[in-house]
Structure 1
Amino acid sequence: MIESEIEITGGLVRALLREQHPDLADLPIREVAGGWGNQMWRLGDVLTVRMQRMDTSPEPQIKERRWLPLLAPRLPLPIPTPVRDGAPSERFPKIWTVMTWVDGTPLDHSAITRTDHAADSLAAFLTALHVEAPSEAPPASDFGAHPKDCTPGFEHFLHAVDLDPFSEEKIRAVWDDAVAASEWKGPPVWVHGDLHPANVVVADGTLAGVVDFGALFAGDPAWDLAAAWLLLPAGGAARFFDSYVRPDEGTVRRARGLAVMKSLFLMLMGQNGDRGLPGGKPEWGPAGRSALDRVLKGL
């Protein structure tokens, strides 16, 4: 079923709770703005209900249910942790999950003002996350591929966005360098995979938590290291790489190319929002442009 076939309301969420978790059903419920694959509802002060929406498969939530309780205790920033499972039913034929709430404002609606602190926090978080994953960990898919295998997506984003005032030649130079970079030679490590401004939260001017692990996989950490440019203000990337366990040259080159591709994606989503198109996120456009500027200037 597609999103338009199911209207997710507070009444529906409460009814599902009464059926499957009645001890939680009387807590206050309010919708959380944003979300794409899933719609979020705040439940009381410390919980949230994650409702499968645009995701066509339950796999992202199933991954979160299995792995986040194991990862959370050793990560230095809060992440959402599943506490109750919601099963498909006649009322709602998809899965849903009750998770812990992570306090803060999504970065696409806020700003980092304590650049050094945020860079050190991101480096500490990714250093703790990027350890060798077990053999049964979810493998890489579209998220996690080498840049050379992402060229069709890069070309689509490049031609779909308004590049002014950026130089296409400079953008392609960074991408071509990433395509030519070596493969990841280390063991598959845990990777968030989808770190962008809507998937981290900010408080007191610095990073306060990381959310949405639906793309979690074991593989190349370059997919997360791109966040040094996507999330941090000018100067933050240099501080980040001084604090993170120094990656090899090929990993940094892949990360820069992926940062360019992800910046273009954010810009495209911003354009869609300005045009009122489905899936548009108008606040993502400025975030993507700022990130692309930092990558191209090496900031």
Structure 2
Amino acid sequence: MGRMHADEHAIDTALVRRLVDGQFPAWADRPITALASGGTVNAVYRLGADLTVRLPLTAGGASDIAKERRALSALGELPVAVPPVVAVGEPAEGYPWPWAVHGWLDGSPALEGREAPARDLAEFVLALRANRADGPPAYRGQSLSTVDMATRRAIDELSRTDEVFDPAAALAVWAEALAAPQWTAPPSWVHADLMPSNLLLRDGRLSGVLDWATAGLGDPACDLIPAWNLLTAAGREIFRDAVGADDATWERGRGRALSMAVIQLPYYRHTNPVISANARYVLTELGCRPAP
């Protein structure tokens, strides 16, 4: 992983050690290990066998600590595990923002294009939608029109920097998504960032879902993105049938997956191989790039 953001704070194991030892001395004897991650908001370290430390990389991500804590406290029963917030640390040792300690969840991150439990994923999405608690607006939970300009700029940039990208195909997908009827029912609970690296698998089943700072109330279409960023064509049909997506919601979900991919690929092409590979996979599944 390279430096992803111009305003990214330098974080290393020594800093995490000082923060933990200074604020939570009961954990001073626990080893700290940096974790490889496709995440773009936090640096993640394992603390002993059953905890993780997550430190925002930028000022923009610092507010996510409180957002995630509120979202997790509002969740009802779900069919998979979510990471409990064990403690919240304060700025110190030259590190300027709050940081969090979470419980460790066993499992391996899902990988795009591999066999994935489409029905488990649909069961999770439906269970989350059924939550009736009040909540904040979800990140990415608004109309696609709010990212229209950013998406078109990204398509234009990719048309000039990625020789196998098909901008006409991308614009066609985007136009269909924008033309789809909007969600008019009350907003539902959504996770809003169901990237493969946030989905944990054990024994071929979905066992946990990470990173809840984006969660809240919004258009349920934004939780359909695994149809294109994770599943194969066969799994996509199983997922759609199990989640009961109508045509309009499916088209909006397709547009959301496209928007995320075209924005992510040029930004993370040289710094985050996990995210950039996933963006390429999405664009291939949407017919905007040839299969490798």
Scaled by the length of structure 2, the TM-score of the pair is 0.85
CA 1:3–1:23: 2 relative to 1, 3 Å = farther
Q: What is the aligned partner in structure 1 of residue 238 from structure 2?
A: 239
User: Which stretch of the first structure deviates more once superposed, 235-244 or 280-289?
Assistant: 280-289
Q: What is the aligned partner in structure 2 of residue 175 from structure 1?
A: 174
Count residues in correspondence: 281
Partner SS for 1:56: helix
Distance 2:272 2:113 in 1: 20
Residues 97-246 of structure 1: matches in 2 within 5 Å?
97-107=100-110, 110=111, 113-115=114-116, 118-135=117-134, 137-140=135-138, 143-161=140-158, 162=161, 164-205=163-204, 207-244=206-243, 246=244
Cα offset, 1:94, TM superposition: 0.8
Partner SS for 1:66: helix
Unaligned runs of 5+ in 1: 274-279
Cα offset, 1:193, TM superposition: 1.2
Q: What is the aligned partner in structure 2 of residue 282 from structure 1?
A: 273
Q: What is the aligned partner in structure 2 of residue 7 from structure 1?
A: 10
1:58-110 Cα offsets, whole Å, 9 max, x none, are 32110111221442x61222222201111223543210111012223334xx4
Flag the structure with more relative contact order, 1 or 2, with Cα contacts below 8 A and sequence separation at least 6. 2
**Residues 144 and 219, structure 1, Cα contact 8 Å, conserved in 2:** yes
1:22 to 25, 28, 41: 25
Q: What is the aligned partner in structure 2 of residue 263 from structure 1?
A: 261
Residues 42-53 of structure 1: matches in 2 within 5 Å?
42-53=46-57
Is structure 2 residue 283 aligned with structure 1 residue 292? yes
Residues 86-105 of structure 1: matches in 2 within 5 Å?
86-89=89-92, 91-105=94-108
2:245 corresponds to which letter in structure 1? P
Distance 1:5 1:214 in 2: 19
Partner SS for 1:74: coil
CA 1:6–1:55: 2 relative to 1, 3 Å = closer
Distance 1:286 1:66 in 2: 31
Distance 2:138 2:208 in 1: 23
User: Which stretch of the first structure deviates more once superposed, 8-17 or 80-89?
Assistant: 8-17
Cα offset, 1:164, TM superposition: 4.4
Partner SS for 1:283: helix
2:65 to 57, 61, 64: 61
Partner SS for 2:273: coil
Is structure 2 residue 24 aligned with structure 1 residue 33? no
Q: What is the aligned partner in structure 2 of residue 277 from structure 1?
A: none
Partner SS for 2:60: coil
**Residues 138 and 218, structure 2, Cα contact 8 Å, conserved in 1:** yes
Unaligned runs of 5+ in 2: none
Cα offset, 1:282, TM superposition: 2.4
Is structure 2 residue 70 aligned with structure 1 residue 79? no
RMSD of aligned alpha carbons: 2.5
